[in-house]
Structure 1
Amino acid sequence: KENTQLKERAEQLERQVNDLRKKEATLNGLLVTTQAMADGIKETARREADLTMKQAELKAEALLKRAHADCEGLQRDILTLRKERTLALEKLRSMLQTFSKMIEMEEIDLNSLSGDTSVNDVTRNR
């Protein structure tokens, strides 16, 4: 009788050990799966971060390139405006010289018509 009880107890303990081994195997499987999932999530996050960083770098490069192009365009515009200003000043100077000569000629004509020497003196003093 005692032998039978011991045998039953041994069988019961063996079943418990088997159950515990199955649970341990299941937990180990879950641990491996969980670790693999965590590694996958980390890798996905790293890839997304790398992609976001690359996109930001490309956008920054594009903005910098555009800023350089805008700056070059503005420099060209400034150069063009300076040339136009110089040309306008030259034209204005030429027009003023032409008007000055026309005034002198009118004064000479007026002087020759009236015989007045005071107008002639004004012309010479310039």
Structure 2
Amino acid sequence: MRARLRECRLRPQHCGDCNNACACNGQCVNVDNDPDHCGQCGMNCPDVCGNGQCIDNCDGFPDECNGACTDVDVDPLNCGDCGQACQADELCVNRNCESFFASPCNQCPCNQCQGGMCCFSDFADADICIDAPDCP
């Protein structure tokens, strides 16, 4: 798993982390909620973008950040507040950027997480160890 996370951080199509699209004119974007690249590169939304679709408002989403429908509780690009981005080795947990690393075990629970929690992260697409009160 650790090698997979390292590979994702080094390959440009992952923009530093697994599942982070990076094919839009060399920019790291999230096509799920970027109003300039909604669902695909170059798809501009007149209002806001949510789940890769142009929509009229962010109903069903807790927050809106510059035309992106999101949740600042868990969004690593808008963690706790709009524009507050976490570092590449951090995830957003309860509005706070928390450091993580790939789990040295093949699955959770993992006693080798050195006091942290072992969780599956959709963002990293892997089991991770994170020093946080909750899993992301």
TM-score range, shorter chain: under 0.3
TM-score using structure 1 length: 0.14
| Greater relative CO, 1 or 2 (CA 8 Å, sep 6+) | 2
Q: Which has the higher helix share?
A: 1
